[in-house]
Amino acid sequence: MSLLSVSGLAVSTHDGRALVSGLSFAVPRGGRLSLIGESGSGKSLTALAVTGLLPPGLAATGTVLLDGTPVIGATDRTLDRVRGRVAAVVFQEPSTALDPLMRLGKQIAEPLRRHRGLRGAALRSAVLEALDEVALPARVARAYPHEVSGGQRQRAAIAMALACRPALLIADEPTTALDVTVQADVLALLDRLVAAHDMALLFVSHDLAVVAKVTDEVVVLSGGRPVQSGPLRTVLANPGDDYTRSLVASARRLDAALDLGGVS
């Protein structure tokens, strides 16, 4: 059975406007899938809906099974047991993904304490290990988010998400807010860690070039609906609809312009 299976997912506002509809996909244990689509196509809402974290005022229908647990309609109590252990999220905007008033070490310690039951010296060394894993120096533990760079913040956010040792990592445009060189580093790190821990990955992006670096399977969203899905190669080779075609064309143009040798 798939680790995450979504069928007929729809997200709508209370006054009945559909923001996402008719979405189905599955991520097997250790598998990887990307949601790709333009800004406003419903990627973030999908990522939130599969963990039952939609903002107030939005509701999901359809079926989402996270490690066999139905997410839609489940209580927070039920979901608290699934979240963290099964799925953790890395967000788009590193400046809001971390509590500005809490030292980074403390923020990373929190999930470690809860999920691995670590205390005292063991907890401290686990925090340092977690920082080391995402290639951050130990002194970052004592820093506040505004005292480190955007790339370092995103690494800290990844460390927090991984601290729970989730079976599925959901990364919502984790590199969009970063500049290009940092982007490549963070992406490579994510790729390496997901592989090292045998995690599954649900990756969200609007950028084909970025998606190509981390996943094989894609679902293309446009205006809240899936317009194409399947292996990235197939989608690239025969973009079945206008939107995907334009996406592929713009990625090609960018590729040509940057002449990024050996990227994809």
Partner 1 sequence: MRRRVFLVAGIVLVLLVVTVALVSLFWTPFPAADTTGGRLEGPGAHHLLGTDKLGRDLLTRLMIGARIAMAVGAGAVALGALLGGLAGLLAAFANRWLDDTLAALLDILIAFPTLLLAMLVVAARGASLGSAIVAIGLAMAAIVARLTRVLAKRVLAMDYVTAARTSGLSWPRIVTAHVLPNIWPTLVVNLALQFGLAVLAEASLSYLGLGPPPPNASWGRLLQEAQSTVLTAPVGAIAPGVLLVVLVVGVNLLADGLRDVADPTRRRHR
Q: Applying CB under 8 A, which residues contact partner 1?
A: 14, 48, 51, 53, 55-57, 76, 80-81, 83-85, 87-89, 91-93, 96-102, 107, 110-111, 114-115, 144, 146-147, 157, 160-161, 163-164, 170
Nearest approach, Cβ of 69 to partner 1 (angstroms)? 13
Nearest approach, Cβ of 261 to partner 1 (angstroms)? 35
Question: Closest-CB residue for Mg ion?
Answer: 44
Cβ-based nearer residue to partner 1, 81 or 252: 81
Q: Does 176 bind Mg ion (CB under 5 A)?
A: no
Stretch that binds Mg ion, among 39-47, 59-67, 182-190, 210-218 (CB under 5 A): 39-47
- Paired residues of 228 in beta bridges: 220
Nearest approach, Cβ of 245 to partner 1 (angstroms)? 33
Nearest approach, Cβ of 175 to Mg ion (angstroms)? 13
Question: Closest-CB residue for ligand ATP?
Answer: 44
Nearest approach, Cβ of 204 to ligand ATP (angstroms)? 7
Cβ-based nearer residue to partner 1, 163 or 199: 163
Contact of residue 225 among ligand ATP, Mg ion, partner 1, none (CB under 5-8 Å per partner type): none
Cβ-based nearer residue to Mg ion, 12 or 44: 44
Q: What are the C-alpha distances in Å from 184 to residues 32, 47, 174, 189, 256?
A: 18, 22, 11, 9, 18
Under DSSP, is residue 174 helix (H, G, I), strand (E, B) or coil?
coil
Distance between CA atoms of 192 and 196, rounded to whole angstroms? 6
Positions touching ligand ATP (CB under 6 A) are 13, 19, 37, 39-45, 55, 57-58, 92, 206
Q: Does 44 bind Mg ion (CB under 5 A)?
A: yes
Query: Are the CB atoms for 107 and 160 separated by under 8 Å?
Result: yes
Cβ-based nearer residue to Mg ion, 112 or 183: 183
Nearest approach, Cβ of 118 to ligand ATP (angstroms)? 34
**CB proximity list for 75: less than 8 A, separation 6 or greater:** none
What are phi and psi for residue 259, nearest 5 degrees? 50, 55
Cβ-based nearer residue to partner 1, 67 or 110: 110
Residue 249: closest CA among 260, 236, 259: 236
- Count of CB atoms situated within 10 Å of the CB of 125: 11
What is the H or E stretch that residue 258 is in?
A: helix 242-258
Nearest approach, Cβ of 98 to ligand ATP (angstroms)? 18
Q: Does 21 bind Mg ion (CB under 5 A)?
A: no
Cβ-based nearer residue to partner 1, 110 or 191: 110
**Mutual angle of helices 104-116 and 120-133, in 10-degree steps:** 110
**CB proximity list for 117: less than 8 A, separation 6 or greater:** none
Distance between CA atoms of 127 and 135, rounded to whole angstroms? 12
Two structure tokens written together for 8: 């007929």
Two structure tokens written together for 68: 């066999």
Distance between CA atoms of 47 and 169, rounded to whole angstroms? 11
